[in-house]
Amino acid sequence: MLFARGSFAALGGTAPVALHKENDIVTVERIFTRSSSGAGSTEHTSVQVTAGAGIEGDRYFGRQEEPGQNITFIEAEELESFFAEQDMPCDASASGRNVVTRGVRLNELVGVEFLVGSVRFLGVELCEPCLGLGKALATSTNPPAKVVKRLVHRAGLRADALSSGELAVGAKVKSAA
C-alpha cells in the first residue's frame, strides 16, 4: 500500500490512507549525510540504517539526546517550491535533511509507523527550520528569519529507525500497517 501527498488530510493526520493506483509514485529521490556539524553534505545512492541509531556515518548516528534524531526527511516538492520562489536552482543538500522524498506528505506521518524500502520508521515530529537552515538558504533579498518563517511546517520530518537495513534511492515509502 502507498500513500500520497494530501491523502491523510481527511483523517486528521492520524493514519495513512492506502492508494491502489499503480501510477502513484512515492519514493526516495536523494540521500545525504554529514560527517560533522558544519561539514558539507555527501550524497549517497544507498546507506545503512541501524535501529535506534540512524544512518551509519551521519553526524547524528547513535546520538540519543532527543526523540526523532535518527533520521530526517524532506519533501522534494517543498524544496522545489522554495527554490523556485527565490529564482534559484534547487539544491536539496542545502536543507541539511537526510532523505528527500517525492509524493508523500511527511507532516501526516507524525506518530505513524512507515516503511522506506524494508526499513521501518516512526515519524516523531516535524523537523522545523532552525536559524542554521535560514542562514544556509538566505539571499540578499531573503534574510534568514524570512527563510525560517517560509519553511515553518514545511521543512520535513524527524523520525526514529525501528529496524535496520539498507535505505536506497528509489525505495518506496509505504504504510507499515
Q: Of 65, 77, 69, 146, give the one whose Cα is nearest residue 106.
A: 77
pTM here is 0.82
What residue ranges define each of the domains in the chain, with the CATH number in brackets? 25-126+158-175 (2.40.33.20)
Tell me the mean pLDDT per 10 residues along the chain, length 177.
Answer: 40 34 68 85 94 94 89 90 82 83 92 95 89 81 84 88 96 87
Is the alpha carbon torsion for 34, 78, 8, 149 positive or negative?
positive
- Write down the pLDDT at residue 20: 31
Q: Determine the 3-state secondary structure of 132 from DSSP.
A: helix
